[in-house]
Amino acid sequence: MKLYPLFADLSRRAVLVVGGGVVAERKAAALLAAGAQVTVGASALTPQLQRLARQGRIAHRAGEFSPAWLEYAWLVVAATDDRALNARVAELAGLRRVFVNVVDDAELSSFHVPAVIDRAPLVVAISSGGAAPMLARLVRERLETLLDHSLGPLAQLAARLRKRIRRRHPDLAARRRFYTELFSGPVAALLRKGQPEQAALAAEQALRAAPAGQAGSVVLVGAGPGDAGLLTLRGLRALNEADVILHDRLVSAEVLELARRDAERIEVGKQAGNHHSTQDEIHALLLEHALAGRRVVRLKGGDPFVFGRGGEELEFLRGHGIPYEVVPGITAALACAAHAGVPLTHRDHAQSVRFVTAHCRESLDTLDWPALAQERQTLAVYMGVAGLDSLRERLLAHGRAATTPFALIENGSRPDQRVVTGTLANLPERALAHAVRSPALLILGEVAALAGRLAWFGAPPLGESVPAPQHLRPLRTTQINREPVRRRA
Is 118 an active-site residue?
Answer: no
Choice among 105, 118, 270, 348 that is catalytic = 270
pLDDT band at 138 (very low <50, low <70, confident <90, very high): very high
How many CB atoms within 10 Å of residue 376? 15
- Residue 3 confidence (pLDDT): 87
- Residue 24 confidence (pLDDT): 97
Strand, coil or helix: 28: helix
Residue 358 pLDDT greater than 60, yes or no: yes
pTM: 0.68
- Residue 305 confidence (pLDDT): 95
How many CB atoms within 10 Å of residue 281? 12
Phi/psi at 254 (nearest 5 deg)?
Answer: -65, -35
Is 270 an active-site residue?
Answer: yes
- Please report, for residues 30, 174, 216, the alpha-carbon distance to residue 212 in angstroms, rounded to integers and kept in the order given: 45, 8, 11
pLDDT band at 213 (very low <50, low <70, confident <90, very high): low
Rounded Cα gap, residues 436 and 412, in angstroms: 12
One-letter identity of residue 9:
D
- Residue 175 confidence (pLDDT): 87
Provide the edge-to-edge strand list for the sheet that holds 418-423: 353-357, 378-382, 440-444, 405-410, 418-423
Asked whether the beta carbons of 65 and 8 are under 8 A apart, the reply is: no
Asked whether the beta carbons of 66 and 39 are under 8 A apart, the reply is: no
pLDDT band at 176 (very low <50, low <70, confident <90, very high): confident
Rounded Cα gap, residues 331 and 335, in angstroms: 6
Residue 49's nearest CA partner among 75, 41, 81, 15 is 41
- Residue 171 confidence (pLDDT): 82
Rounded Cα gap, residues 379 and 408, in angstroms: 12
Asked whether the beta carbons of 80 and 108 are under 8 A apart, the reply is: no
- Residue 359 confidence (pLDDT): 65
Q: How would you write 95-147 as a 3-class SS string?
A: HCCCEEEECCCCCCCCCCCCEEEEECCEEEEECCCCCCHHHHHHHHHHHHHHC
Residue 277 pLDDT greater than 90, yes or no: no
Which residues, including other chains, have CB under 8 Å from residue 197's CB and lie 6 or more apart?
Answer: none
Rounded Cα gap, residues 262 and 272, in angstroms: 31
Rounded Cα gap, residues 36 and 58, in angstroms: 9
Question: For 403-434, what is each residue's pLDDT tens digit?
Answer: 999 999 999 999 999 999 999 999 999 999 99
Rounded Cα gap, residues 205 and 195, in angstroms: 16
Rounded Cα gap, residues 236 and 221, in angstroms: 9
- Residue 362 confidence (pLDDT): 65
| Average confidence score pLDDT of the chain | 89
Residue 468 pLDDT greater than 70, yes or no: no
Mean pLDDT, range 333-361, rounded to an integer: 90
Rounded Cα gap, residues 205 and 179, in angstroms: 14
- Residue 118 confidence (pLDDT): 92
Asked whether the beta carbons of 100 and 94 are under 8 A apart, the reply is: yes
Choice among 227, 248, 300, 303 that is catalytic = 248
Asked whether the beta carbons of 368 and 301 are under 8 A apart, the reply is: no
- Residue 479 confidence (pLDDT): 38
How many CB atoms within 10 Å of residue 160? 11
Mean pLDDT, range 339-349, rounded to an integer: 94
